[in-house]
Structure 1
Amino acid sequence: FYVIQNQDTLSAIAKAFQISIKSIVDVNPGIVPESLRIGQMICLPLSPLPYLLTISLNAKTLSFYRQGIFVKTYPVAIGKPSTPSPQGTFTIVNKVFNPGGPYGTRWMGLSARGYGIHGTNNPISIGTRASNGCIRMYNQDVNELYSQVLVGTTVKIYK
């Protein structure tokens, strides 16, 4: 994390840390570059993390890689046809322990605003197109994954 100081701009911060403005914006959803406040905390992607999650919408699976080495594949539920899961490359921007309700035991928010990887209170839905666009996992699986990945982890969602 970085705490905004007087006269800071995203451009100056990006230059100082040798990263792109886009990478700062990607890991800080909702940030308004023209409205930074002194004392505001922002996340900085200082170096690529050794983790990667890939989600195959067709196979309804999430695969976990560490240091480029495959670790495990988990079954998931994806978005319904009327509320499809987003496709593209995202990052995990926050993690919530026991969010409750339909999110089950863990939440990992994505840089695609409003979307995340989470547990479920409806385990029979795993392996189907049942969500409002989020990636839904069995609670025991999301607990295991949550303990291994960090904010900033890359998530690639594809057909």
Structure 2
Amino acid sequence: MKQGILVKQAAMHPLSLVDSLAKNFVQEDFILANNYDNLDVLAFRMNNLSRLPAGLTRPVYTIFAGGDCAFIVAMKENSSLLKPVAAGAAEVKERDLKILKEVIFQGLLDLHPEQQDDFIITDDIKSALQSVDQGQYQYLFILNN
């Protein structure tokens, strides 16, 4: 599947976070099935949203804060933050992580590099979703790379 970043604690409610992203991101809801059995559908949707014309990509993240609803956010094509990168390029992951850390973590959630101990990077998305549902973490951010 994808890679995720678990965040232990942040000072912003999930709906406030999604609202704050509206200037630069398009948002859509995604309903997770019982036992998260539709993660392949989520991955497919994130991949489709990331595609731009001419083989370029844009950042797409899924934000999960518990329950059965996750929020897919895709950077708007006209966002001043968007630096289109060719699909499959090594720079895609670097760009997407930089935007996540600087714009969302630092800019909106007020989480700074010295708080990196509060972030857990994981490839086990299903277990990460369960950890958020069980209250061990506040957020899971799923990256599309």
Q: Same fold (TM over 0.5)?
A: no
Larger strand proportion, structure 1 or 2?
A: 1
* TM-score normalised to structure 2 length: 0.26
The structure that has the greater radius of gyration is 1
Higher relative contact order (CA 8 A, sep 6+): 2
